[in-house]
Structure 1
Amino acid sequence: MNVVIAPDSFKGSMSSREAAERVRAGVARVFPVWETTVVPMADGGEGTVEAILAVIGGRRMTARVKDPLGRSIEAEWGYCEKRGLAVIETAAASGLALLKEPDPARASTYGTGQLLKQALDHGVREVVIGLGGSATVDAGTGFFAALGVRFYDGQGELLEPAGGNLGEIDRIDGSGLDPRLQKVRITIASDVTHPLLGPEGAIHVFGPQKGIQAEELDRFEEGMGRFAERLVRVTGRDHRWTPGSGAAGGFGFSLLSLLNVEWGSGLDLIAAWGHLEEKIRQADLVITGEGRMDRQSLYGKVPVGIARIAARHEIPVVAFTGQIQGDLTEAEETGISVILPITEGPISLEDAMRQGPDLLERAACRFAQVWRLGESRGVKR
């Protein structure tokens, strides 16, 4: 029996690698002779560095940078020296998980720009930037400020880049942008396809989860729109309606406007580098999962992406999750055979996240016991 184990991280509880190892351990309790292949996955958010380094090699680097509110923190990025490649997660320096309370008016991507600056100092030739998990709606102005771009208000005063200041930006001076960026291949890893503006854009779709109150949505939307107009005039590029421009609070828009970037699915990138489809083609079963599965999971999250690959080769897929939200009976249409929650009874979210690794291992063991029961009864998959 050949099993591919390719989960996403269970955010706040365990990384994709730990999740995969816990599944492997649980299955091995029942089937120690099963051959298992672990491929940690990510979609551009938390865990992207670990997942990419797991498939191509490299090491973690640390840098002292600013968090979303300007406080000094240590943040990690991935470095594959043999390829001259840096992997940067926006979540590492500018992530929502770094804040006790979201503050969209003040939050900035400046620290993410500092991470890229350190990577450039190491002479990298290629950079992957994952956009998931940000705390910001600053349209990436902080990121670009860290790399030399300056933003001024109508009185010619230098503005602090932040989500609440976008509407005050009157002039954008890109003359100081780090020239090394022109010599580096930059790939954006994101599965977000939302545009910058409108009801499906950065503010209305993602703003509430970053702390924007319902009564403030229009104000933030107006500020984003004003900034976009000014950047379009400066660059001559209009990416306001380009799919993905709304990613990470408009960060995608500024990356597309100010740099020559390639855009791709984080999952597809990791799958290609890890030769995932070839591994799945040779498998008898695929196990995946993520911390929470809801209807949004059916439209592009890691488990569904894995299932679509497996479906091309008629390989069954089992997905573990910490929480199921809503009716997911349509999951089978995506190629997921069954979704299995790992919780064992009423439990607080805090306890579930703390106990997540053990819960997942035991759930994998129970699944393997059911599989063994089917085998003993001669059930064919």
Structure 2
Amino acid sequence: MKIVIAPDSFKGSLTAKQVAEAIRTGVARIFPQVDYELVPMADGGEGTVQSLVDATQGRLITKTVHNPLDHGVKKIILGIGGSATNDGGAGMAQALGARLLDAAGNELPLGGGALDRLDHIDISGLDPRIQATQVLIASDVTNPLTGKDGASAVFGPQKGATPAMVEVLDQNLHHYAEIIKRDLHQDLEQVPGAGAAGGLGTGLMAFTNSQMARGIDLVVEFTKLKERAVGADLVLTGEGGIDFQTKFGKTPYGVALATKTVAPQAPVVVLAGNVGQGIDSLYGKDAMDAIFATPTGAKPLAQAIADGPHDIALAAENVARLIKAVKN
């Protein structure tokens, strides 16, 4: 018997690797002698770097830098989830050598609040090596830069922006996109993913040699999930919360779609810390087969986090008990 365990992290609680190990702990109480494939996953948001490092036996290198041209790398996978900005990647562009200038030729201050004064963009100072470096943008959302689904409207309030601030930021990002279109000849405002990470998707596409991709697709590729799932009899995945939005690029749905292509007979079971609305849309012949909440009863958040490994293992054990009963 072969069991693939490929969860995302439980945000603020456990890394994807820790979740995978907790699931294995529970399942192994019932199936101690089976072949386990642990594949820590992510979708371009929080935990993507750690998941890729864990899955590929890589290593983390920490340095203080002002651009991405460290160690001579020519290909970068850049996860752009969980930013604290709403400036369309303008600050990143300035850090890389681009000049964002007002009508008097003065450099704009950092932040999205000043973008309404942007008059023209000067990229003559960009290091030429930037264009020789391929950037794969791993995004877990498909939001455009502006509008009701844009960076300001969707992510601004998460970062403390009031409705009035959201309106100003959205107008500023629209102006920013218009200047990019005029000076850099790129129309990015409504491109899916342009609004990711407060609009960093836009900045990356405008100022670097980059390609937008769904984060989950990149992680599936680089972790070799499909190859490792060949011959699987059961797939277990999960993340901290699951609802109808999971279908739009989140890890559990991506894991289900990927593994079903190579192991269509293997049930895909999802474990989640919170099960929200609309999960009926996640089920299907080529998608998920069952979804279970992991918490053992109502409890304060701090206690739920502390109980995470135990509760995940217990839920996984109960899934394994059901699978064994059906097989017998």
TM range (shorter): over 0.9
Corresponding position of 1:109: none
1:331 maps to 2:288:
no
Deviations 1:185-206 (A, max 9, x none): 1111113222212222222233
Residue 73 of structure 1 is matched in structure 2 by none
Contact 2:99 2:121 (C-alpha < 8 Å) held by counterparts: yes
Task: Map 1:231-270 onto structure 2 (within 5 A).
Answer: 231-270=180-219
Q: Which amino acid aligns with 1:352?
A: A
Counterpart in 1 of 2:100?
A: 151
Q: CA deviation at 1:222?
A: 0.6
Structure 2 residue 134 is matched with structure 1 residue 182: no
Match of 1:357 in 2: 309
Question: Any unmatched runs of 5+ in structure 2?
Answer: none
Percent identity, please: 41
Corresponding position of 1:344: 296
TM-superposed deviation, 1:374: 3.0
Per-residue deviation, 1:141 = 1.1
- Size of the aligned set, in residue pairs, is 325
* Cα offsets for 1:182-235 (capped at 9, x unmatched): 221111111322221222222223322232222332211111111111122210
After superposition, the CA RMSD in angstroms is 1.8
Which region of structure 1 is more displaced relative to structure 2, 297-306 or 345-354? Answer: 345-354
Q: Separation in 1 of the partners of 2:109 and 2:27?
A: 52
Q: What does residue 271 of structure 2 align with?
A: 320
Q: SS of the residue aligned with 1:268?
A: helix
Q: 2:29 is paired with a residue of what secondary structure?
A: helix
For 1:302, the aligned partner's letter is T
Task: State the Cα distance separating 1:272 from its structure 2 match.
Answer: 1.6
Structure 2 counterpart of 1:216, which letter?
Answer: M
Matches within 5 A, 1:209-288: 209-288=158-237
Equivalent pair of 1:55/1:270 in contact (CA under 8 Å):
no
CA contact (8 A) 2:148 2:154 kept: yes
- Matches of 1:239 and 1:266, distance apart in 2: 19
SS in 2 for 1:3: strand
Supply the distance in 1 between the matched residues of 2:169 and 2:88 (Cα, whole angstroms).
11
Following superposition, the deviation at residue 248 of structure 1 comes to 1.2
Following the alignment from structure 1 to structure 2, what is the Cα–Cα distance between the partners of residues 61 and 35? 32
Q: CA deviation at 1:64?
A: 4.0
| TM-superposed deviation, 1:151 | 2.0
The answer for the alignment partner of 2:141 in structure 1 is 192
Offset of residue 350 of structure 1:
2.7
Letter in 2 for 1:323: N
Q: How does 1:16-35 map to 2 (within 5 A)?
A: 16-35=16-35
**Equivalent pair of 1:147/1:178 in contact (CA under 8 Å):** yes
> Structure 1: where are the runs of 5+ without partners?
66-113
Alpha carbons 1:280, 1:315 under 8 Å: kept: no
Q: Give the corresponding residue for 2:320.
A: 368
Task: Tell me what 1:140 maps to.
Answer: 89
Q: Which residue of 2 aligns with 1:95?
A: none
Aligned to 1:128: 77
Deviation at 1:262, TM superposition (A): 1.8
For residue 13 of structure 1, report the CA deviation from its aligned partner. 0.6
Secondary structure of 1:248 counterpart: helix
- The answer to whether the Cα contact below 8 Å between 1:316 and 1:335 also exists between their aligned partners in 2 is no
Give yes or no for contact 2:45–2:79 (8 Å, CA) kept in 1. yes
Which residue does 2:11 correspond to in 1?
Answer: 11
Counterparts of 2:290 and 2:148 in 1: how far apart (Å)?
33
What TM-score do you get using the length of structure 1 for normalisation? 0.80
Matched-pair contact (CA < 8 Å) for 2:88–2:145: no
Does the 8 Å contact 2:233/2:265 carry over to 1? no
1:163 offset after TM fit, Å? 2.2
Pairs within 5 Å for 1:45-60: 45-60=45-60
Task: Give me the whole-angstrom Cα distance separating, in 1, the residues matched to 2:303 and 2:94.
Answer: 40
Specify which structure has the bigger relative contact order, considering alpha-carbon pairs within 8 angstroms and separated by 6 or more residues.
Answer: 2
- What is the distance in 2 between the residues matched to 1:260 and 1:146? 16
